[in-house]
Structure 1
Amino acid sequence: MSAQNALRRRLGERPWLTIAWVAVLAFFFAQVEIQIEGGAGWAAALPTWRIEQHWLLDIFWGGRAMTGYHAWVFSFMVLMFHFPMAFLQTWSWRLQARALACLMQFWVMEDFLWFVLNPDFGLARFDPQNVPWQKHWWWCAPTDYWTFSAVAVVLFWHSFKADSPARQGPVTPLPSK
């Protein structure tokens, strides 16, 4: 029996536990970013490189500037959300879907908590006039929140969906030496 199957049998499938853990991670990282950035969001006052204008930023970055700080932080978080697969030396499409879903929800929750918990902002200043680095809004939130949340829900649901063993696909152990 694989380590993943043993863990699954012991814990059962508890999506709420995963969501709660991601929320805790988002809370703590929002606090870290508040300490790093203060009221100058999107690394505006940090000593880091910035690319303000590029057509790829409009497609992949929501029109926001690319900063050295965010390039390294985002890369680090991608690796951290994939760490359980590396640690267990296993991979599957379902685990990949869950990792990406959790990563997307982490960034939505972390970003929102940055505003809510930041003494220089608060919920009252969470709007397009006070958050110029979030260029595209729909209703009461940046469009990234809506897009990432919708994709994350689909991926997360798929990662927990019961399926026939034939369609489920094997959990592939990573190659050993």
Structure 2
Amino acid sequence: MSRGVAEPQPGIGRTLIYLAWVVTMAFFFANAEIQIEGGAGWATSLPTWRIENNIWLDLFWGGRAMTGYHAWVFTFMMLVFFSPLAFQGRWTLRDWGLALAGLIVFWVCEDFLWFLINPAFGFENFNPTKAFWHKHWLWGAPVDYWGGLAVALLILVRRHWPRR
């Protein structure tokens, strides 16, 4: 965009379409991950390295194990969500925020859908006992879900605040 020309205000409709796309991607990825992991969540039966019981995991990873599988797949999905910024060569705070909010919504939806559509789980097994890798729960869901969705909502609301 040329200098002095204000960037158009992003439309809420476009953001909602983007979020619908993100949820659709989460659905497909959840299905792929079910094919990879089966009923053994958090890569517990995959031939991958694991780091467990570490103070840094408690602080930044919800107490869950860090696995080679998750290190690679989380990095890959981050690159997917930020690739439009790289291809456009435009790293505005607004675009960066949308990519980050999309990534957060993707992971929350993908994880929840993994439970819902996985034949080995289903909604009835979406609890702290069966989903033992989610160590902290609040209001019937992992705390990560609530925190992540709150951050994504704040980013998206800020994205649509009028500019001064």
TM-score in terms of structure 2 length: 0.92
Cα drift, residue 159 of structure 1: 2.1
Aligned equivalent of 2:58: 58
Give distance in 1, aligned partners of 2:159 and 2:99: 9
1:98 to 2:126 alignment: no
Aligned equivalent of 1:75: 75
Give distance in 2, aligned partners of 1:88 and 1:162: 24
Secondary structure of the equivalent of 2:63?
coil
Aligned equivalent of 1:149: 149
Give distance in 1, aligned partners of 2:78 and 2:149: 17
Cα drift, residue 162 of structure 1: 2.6
Q: Is the CA contact (8 Å cut-off) linking 1:22 and 1:106 kept in structure 2?
A: yes
Aligned equivalent of 1:129: 129
Specify every segment of 5 or more residues in structure 1 that has no aligned partner in the other structure, as ranges.
165-177
Give distance in 2, aligned partners of 1:36 and 1:62: 22
Pairwise mapping of residues 3-42 of structure 1 onto structure 2 (< 5 A)?
Answer: 13=12, 14-42=14-42
Specify every segment of 5 or more residues in structure 2 that has no aligned partner in the other structure, as ranges.
none
Give the aligned residue type for 1:36.
I
**What are the Cα deviations for residues 126-145 of structure 1, in whole angstroms up to 9, with x where unaligned?**
00111100000001100000
Pairwise mapping of residues 107-126 of structure 1 onto structure 2 (< 5 A)?
Answer: 107-126=107-126
Runs of 4 or more consecutive aligned structure 1 residues displaced over 6 Å after TM superposition: none
Cα drift, residue 12 of structure 1: 5.1
Give distance in 2, aligned partners of 1:129 and 1:121: 12
Aligned equivalent of 2:139: 139
Cα drift, residue 160 of structure 1: 2.9
Give distance in 2, aligned partners of 1:16 and 1:138: 27
Q: Is the CA contact (8 Å cut-off) linking 1:102 and 1:156 kept in structure 2?
A: no
Pairwise mapping of residues 84-95 of structure 1 onto structure 2 (< 5 A)?
Answer: 84-95=84-95
**What are the Cα deviations for residues 4-25 of structure 1, in whole angstroms up to 9, with x where unaligned?**
x9xx79x955211011011011
Secondary structure of the equivalent of 2:41?
coil
Q: How many corresponding residue pairs?
A: 160
Give distance in 2, aligned partners of 1:16 and 1:61: 28
Give distance in 2, aligned partners of 1:107 and 1:50: 20
